[in-house]
Amino acid sequence: MAEERKEDWWKDKAWITQYLFKGEEPTAFDLLGAFVCNIVMGSPEAILIAGNMPPRLIHFVVNHPKRGSESIVLMMTPVAVFEGEPEEEPDLGLEIDYYKFAAMLGGKEDVMDMVWSGEVTMSGNTVVGMDLKDLLDASIGKEIIERPAAWTIGVP
Amino acid sequence: MGEELSEEERIKRFVEERKKKAGEERTKESGMSARERDYTRELYRASQKFIDIEKGRDIYQTMKEIWGAEPLYEVDEKMYHRGGYRQSIRKKEFIDAGKQIAIKRGLPSYSRAVGLPVGQRMLEPMPVGKWGITIEQDDSHHMNNTAIQQLNDDIKRTVIMNLDLAHRMLQVRVGKEVTPETLNFYMETLQHTMGAGAVAQEHMNEVNPYLVKDAWAKIITGSDEIMDGLDQRYYIHIDELFHPDRAKALKEAIGDSIWVVFRVPTLAMRMGDGECTGRWAAMQNTMAFISAYQLSGEHVISDLAYAFKHARVIHMGDKLWGSRVRGRNEIGGIPDGFIPDIIQCERDLPLMPYVEYMTQDDAAASKAMTRMSEGIGGIAAMLDNTLWLGFYMSGGIGFSNTVATSALSGGANEDVLSEFSNLGAKYLRGKLIPAKWDIMKVMLNMVATYVIETYEKFPTLAELHWGGAHKTSIMGTVGAGVSAMLTGSSTMGLWAGNYTIASAMKEGWLRTGWAGQEIQDHMGMPYLCSFRPEEGNLTEMHGENYPMHSFSAGHGNQRAAANYGAMMGRGSAWCLSPVVKVAFADPHLAFDFRRPRYCIAKAGIKEFMPDGERTAITPACDILDRGILKDTMKEIPF
Amino acid sequence: MAEKTKSEYVPNIYPGKDTVSARRKKLWDKSRPLLKYRSIAEDDITQLLSHRAVRSAYVSVHPPLEELIEPYDPIKHIVVPTPGTRAGDRIRFIQMSDSFHLPSIAPFGRQRLYFSRFRGIDTVVYSGREILEMRERDLEKATKMLLETEIFNPGRSALKGITVHGHSLRLDENGLMFDARRRYIYDKDSGEVVYIKDQMGNVLDVPVPVGPPLSEEDCKKLCLTYSWDTQPYKARTELFEMMSRSTKMRVMAGFNPEMINESM
């Protein structure tokens, strides 16, 4: 995560710069958009996993130390990202620091580990958190944890 | 040239622009929010796809076995058509017995002619544990079940005394030597005096040894040197009874101290009450000292008696408060932390925190969870629901008994917890969860909703656990047990257990049971988790006589699960007292505190032999002959 | 008395945006009328309650309030007595039980509904039952509402004055909730649920039909509890957030209310 705190950190990240102009530090929305377009879409495993999930609505509240908090929504199956509060009740709410968010999307931090350490506040359906972890893991080519039958991929 | 902006203003403007843009996009994409609404309806369809997974669960098989019907089906077509009470062998026996008794004594007895007709629904069999033993619900009534009685008796007839002070008195004030030989001689004498055998006075009333064959005393010490000097029969073999790591930890904690655990005869304790235990043991112990060490009626005797009665004694239960007054050693006074020490189910498992079990393999983690369920279901549920609430407090028929039996049969706990162990192994990878609510609730909500969904999907399980109290006792155990095991904190366990029943279950179904109500569970929350005087106490020091606590059928399991779970979560060898932990490992006890449900099941099929029987002094006669005997007595003139 | 200023605060009543939450918001909001599904004659209600003979006079436990000379009490000027109180009626009860399987109302749902819509009540909530105690004539009026509106599903809600057990059991062959006293049966000819006994289980002279049981589809539509096959409970993020917060506040701030803040 230290990497993400450096000045102009995003300029070295191909997955971000391919999607964005380099001038301004990207917003969380930009990051999520870049992640979906450049990483998820590029990974057949991630697409396969996302395809097996029921519809999911994840609400991120990303806190930037200077810009304040930003609200973004990730919808899965099919994937969509938009800014603002969701109109419907989200399946999962995550409150996360901006730089941790960037590290998580970059594959440097594990979302569930951050939950257990208290760095991420998670509320809602924990199964969706596991779905998100699988999606993140699959997109960076990490092996997916085989889930117990009760909470297997696709279970609401 | 563009205007010069400060860093802060630049960021502010950037954020505003982005928000405006996002708002515009949202209005354009109205199709998106329509889909947001749609997606919630997809969830049921998604659930349906996984219904086969439910059929692979252990609980599916158990329900099929119990009900002889499709466990997931909501309708019982045979309802009202099962022949009433006649569907139960036990009820038919009761009817017969009731008739016979009525004829013999000339006074009506048990009769199904009064009250409502029972057996309109199915009177289902209860397979207990995994031993292939099936009992009927009536068999688990504490009056019908000798093992539950013996569980009660074996705790109430136990008292533990420390000998260090007594030995010091002997050495310093009387000038006697205490050696392994004298200790062995004292222990031999004690086995005699514990059964009320006379030692110092001649021509005393003594007791038929057959009546007191369950009276004995054994030494507990952590010192190998002391044990080496003792006769093997007179001490509890910690090394043989516990896993080596646990034995080491227990011996370290007990150290060189010498404790003696006394088992007062079941019959004596039953004739009086738990309070008699301490008196009997102190008296008989003092007599053994007098005899073994040749003491006179000197002042040392009164000091010895004081040490054994008050200063150096551990009673299993404290005195209760005025309105529910009982002496010591009664069920209501047992501190919650003693219950995990009384339970022995984990004693052969390696000593490590539960999360480390999960890293080893699924089987090890599931085993630890199963042991917790065994202890909670077989001992804690019996003590709290069946004995304290159902017997001491309510009396008579056993609704609380049925609540306790929900922990005996059905396997809901085990099923859910083994699935959970599998999950924890994968997602926690050996790390304890910090005892913080915002973190714990992530896992807790998942497990609680899983149990809730299990009841919704299995109407048969809902029927087996037919009252709200049954369900709260199961859910409280799961919630408290899981949280305590993952954090090692009994306070977090208690918090989580209460949340599970008083919030999660209640808001989901809009119903709870005895437990989970506003008065106890909402108002009681700050008391449960506070440590400040006048507000709360260490969770392990709570008990039935703790003010503002949540007390009802459904809470007992939960409180015990919080303490026992935390003990296993921390990887401790004992909960509140290492001496109590060792005391209940005693293999001479009739009730096996390591396999409580097995004992209860065996008693259900009349294969458990309890202590404290009076057959040595009663006439050999048929159970119905009392009336006849009384008639013969009449013929004898005064 | 000065005219009341209208508060701008609109109670949210219940968290969540799903259909079950919407049902809860509706039932517990006294400003929203309940839909009437059926009509039950007043005499039939008197019979079902079994507290007095049909059309007999109400038993009084005290003279009408108008005739009582009571010490001055300002509260009595503020609280308008209910008709039953004014007349000095006895306090009697109705006890109802609701099935575990897709019920249109459940015990805590009843409690909250009773508190928001009725006056002069005492109610006890429990896992399988809910008792409502009121002055007799007020009770009869309340019962009418309880039996005639959308909250009553004749198949899965029942009057059970005694022997309430059965809410958690599977349904019988006609889809009715179990009743060990068999107070109600399904009349195959009329397709209605018919009470053949009153709430205490005494046989009625004339059976009382209470309408057909709701279809499975209607049950799902009117269900007041979250369920895996209606609205899965685990997806109720807002509700979980609320429960979690209230629990945390109770524990952390129960003895220290000054700790409560927005971030809790």
CATH classification of the domain holding B290: 3.30.70.470
Q: Is B599 contained in some domain?
A: no
How many angstroms separate the CA atoms of A33 and A31, rounded? 5
Same domain, B182 and B50: no
> A-contacting residues of C 6-65, CB under 8 Å?
16-18
At B90 the pLDDT is 95
Q: Which amino acid is at B420?
A: F
Decide if A124 and C17 are in contact by the 8 Å CB cutoff.
no
Same domain, B417 and B454: yes
- Which residues of chain A are within 8 Å of residue B33 when distances are taken between CB atoms? 87-88
Decide if A83 and B22 are in contact by the 8 Å CB cutoff.
yes
The whole-angstrom distance between A132's CA and the closest CA on chain C is 15
The whole-angstrom distance between A155's CA and the closest CA on chain C is 11
Same domain, B51 and B96: no
At B32 the pLDDT is 45
Query: For C182-195, what is each residue's pLDDT tens digit?
Result: 999 999 999 999 99
Same domain, B308 and B368: no
Specify the number of domains making up chain B. 4
Query: For B87-104, what is each residue's pLDDT tens digit?
Result: 999 999 999 999 999 998
Final residue in a domain of this structure, among B267, B290, B315: B315
Same domain, B297 and B386: no
Q: Is B104 contained in some domain?
A: yes
- Which residues of chain B are within 8 Å of residue A127 when distances are taken between CB atoms? 446
ipTM of the complex in this document: 0.95
The tokens describing C217, both together, are: 């589809």
Q: Which range marks the domain in which residue B50 is found?
A: 7-67
Q: pTM for this one?
A: 0.92
How many angstroms separate the CA atoms of B96 and B111, rounded? 9
Same domain, B275 and B346: no
Decide if C226 and B508 are in contact by the 8 Å CB cutoff.
yes
CA B34-B40-B43 angle, to 5 degrees, is: 140
> Is the pLDDT assigned to residue B31 strictly greater than 50?
no
CATH classification of the domain holding B411: 1.20.840.10
Same domain, B393 and B537: yes
Kindly identify which residue of chain B lies nearest to residue C243, measuring between CA atoms.
B503
At B22 the pLDDT is 64
**Residue from the list A57, A67, A88 with its beta carbon closest to the beta carbon of B15:** A67
> Is the pLDDT assigned to residue C109 strictly greater than 70?
yes
Decide if B75 and C172 are in contact by the 8 Å CB cutoff.
yes
Query: For A19-58, what is each residue's pLDDT tens digit?
Result: 776 778 899 999 999 999 888 888 999 988 888 888 889 9
- The neighbour count for residue B543, using CB atoms within 10 Å, is 22
CB A98 within 8 A of CB A62: yes
Q: Is B139 contained in some domain?
A: no
Is any Cβ of chain C less than 8 angstroms from the Cβ of B466?
yes
Q: Is B239 contained in some domain?
A: yes
Same domain, B502 and B533: yes
The whole-angstrom distance between B569's CA and the closest CA on chain A is 16
Same domain, B33 and B180: no
The whole-angstrom distance between B219's CA and the closest CA on chain C is 43
**Residue from the list C232, C234, C237 with its beta carbon closest to the beta carbon of A90:** C237
Q: Is B637 contained in some domain?
A: no
The helix or strand, by DSSP H or E, that contains position B286, with its residue range, turns out to be helix B274-292
How many angstroms separate the CA atoms of B569 and A88, rounded? 39
CB C86 within 8 A of CB C65: yes
Is any Cβ of chain C less than 8 angstroms from the Cβ of B501?
no
Query: For B497-550, what is each residue's pLDDT tens digit?
Result: 999 999 999 999 999 988 888 877 888 888 888 888 888 889 999 988 776 776
> B-contacting residues of A 100-119, CB under 8 Å?
112, 115-118
Same domain, B41 and B93: no
- Which residues of chain B are within 8 Å of residue C101 when distances are taken between CB atoms? 74, 459, 462
Band (pLDDT 50/70/90 cuts) for residue B34 is very low
CATH classification of the domain holding B96: 3.90.390.10
At B637 the pLDDT is 59
Peptide bond into C15 cis (omega under 30): no
Ordered by where they begin, the domains of chain A are 2-141 (3.30.1050.10)
How many angstroms separate the CA atoms of B94 and B97, rounded? 5
Longest dimension (CA), chain A: 47
Final residue in a domain of this structure, among B286, B315, B344: B315
Final residue in a domain of this structure, among B266, B285, B315: B315
Query: For B249-272, what is each residue's pLDDT tens digit?
Result: 999 999 999 999 999 999 999 999
> Is the pLDDT assigned to residue B41 strictly greater than 70?
no
At B232 the pLDDT is 97
The predicted model gives C59-81 an average pLDDT of 92
**Percent residues over pLDDT 70 in chain A:** 96
Of the candidates C202, C223, C246, which has an alpha carbon nearest to the alpha carbon of residue C156?
C223
- DSSP per residue, B6-52: -HHHHHHHHHHHHHHHHHHHHHH-HHHHHHHHHHHHHHHHHHHHTHH
The predicted model gives C39-64 an average pLDDT of 96
At B343 the pLDDT is 98
Decide if C237 and A125 are in contact by the 8 Å CB cutoff.
yes
Q: Is B306 contained in some domain?
A: yes
CB B266 within 8 A of CB B612: yes
At A1 the pLDDT is 54
> C-contacting residues of A 117-156, CB under 8 Å?
123-127, 156
Size of interface A-B (CB pairs under 8 A): 115
- DSSP per residue, A9-77: GGGG-HHHHTTS-SSSPPPHHHHHHHIIIIIITT-HHHHHHHHHSPPEEEEEEEEETTTEEEEEEEEET
Q: Is B325 contained in some domain?
A: no
The highest-confidence range among B47-61, B236-250, B368-382, by mean pLDDT, is B236-250
Same domain, B93 and B234: no
Q: Is B45 contained in some domain?
A: yes
> Is the pLDDT assigned to residue A13 strictly greater than 90?
no
- The neighbour count for residue B488, using CB atoms within 10 Å, is 23
Same domain, B298 and B432: no
How many angstroms separate the CA atoms of B480 and B525, rounded? 14
At B195 the pLDDT is 95
Band (pLDDT 50/70/90 cuts) for residue B30 is very low
